[in-house]
A = this chain, B = another copy of it.
């Protein structure tokens, strides 16, 4: 079984965008407030994810961990009440897609974060999507100010209430920023990667996992700059008298494989332990084209992993399935409940 842990619903029906337009229009004219019913049929939903299903078939993956469009979360946009309604609408669509196609998609949600608002305010939506809707994880935005980083670091006690709930519910958080409202910072080309790098460095500086040994974070986009600068991070940790990174962070921090060329993936595989690497391709995401150097899509990341000669079959099983089922225990339970234990069962 091959699990892609990082897919976003970037093929949403137009009604969702119309809903968002009306929401934001209501800031200026309350009469434009949208109805909570988006008017999207099940047929439309299934049709909207045909591109993802085709890519699963073409590229040989089985199941995608699916969350709302990351740049669409827009935590810095509007006000907190609008953000709550927006998260609920976005998560409800994910829930419907995953309910309609449970063998292909597992749900991850967005949180109604708002800059300056207490993180506790996100707990009801987190409980709803996990307990009532079967979500297996959540995206946590380390910079709800959208590219200005006007928010305490992830190690600050500001965040502790949500960590307590994540641990209680046994769901990991992918640390994922949303779009950038900063004209100096491009979203997919700078803010996403900087978000990953900054979050990792915040965790390195602190001792968060001493307080939350069961908390699990996935850092997407291959960990931003982290594997490329692994020596720098090992050295900075050493200068700060922190434990070795394996002990300090790697029981709790995992990296996905959204790195769009072989040399980058090789670098990652050389420095990040195989137990900490989770297959992902960010479909349909940041980069849509075909690499003229290979003739294949940049984001067909499975091809790069297939080319890594140093990996054993057991290593590949971990990257493609085993690690995901360990980091997302609710996903593992869902797969087992459906009687599709996959290769993990066979090799257990």
Q: Please report A residues at the B interface, Cβ cutoff 8 Å.
A: 142-143, 147-153, 182-186, 188-190, 193-194, 197-198, 201-202, 204-205, 221-222, 224-225, 227-236, 238-239, 259-261, 263-264, 266-268, 270-271, 286-289, 291, 298-299
Contact = CB atoms under 8 A, between A and B. Distances in A.
Nearest to A263: B270
Contacts of A201: 185-186, 189-190
**This protein's copies in its complex:** 2
B225 A202 contact: no
B147 A149 contact: yes
Nearest to A194: B194
Contact of A260 (B149, B235, B286, B288): B235
A194 B227 CA distance: 14
A230 B185 contact: no
A303 B140 CA distance: 39
Contact of A235 (B182, B190, B239, B289): B289
A286 B184 contact: no
Given A152-B183, A204-B189, A239-B287, A229 B194 contact: no
Contacts of A230: 261, 263-264
Contact of A190 (B198, B228, B264): B198
A224 B190 CA distance: 10
Residue among A151, A197, A259, A260 facing the most chain B CB atoms (10 A cut-off): A197
A130 to B, nearest CB: 27
Q: Which 3 A-B pairs have the closest CB atoms?
A: A231-B261, A231-B260, A235-B287
A47 to B, nearest CB: 25
A222 B233 contact: no
Contact of A193 (B197, B263, B291): B197
B231 A221 contact: no
B149 A185 contact: yes
Nearest to A267: B267
B228 A228 contact: yes
Given A232-B298, A266-B267, A289-B235, A205 B189 contact: yes
Contact of A150 (B148, B238, B260, B270): B148
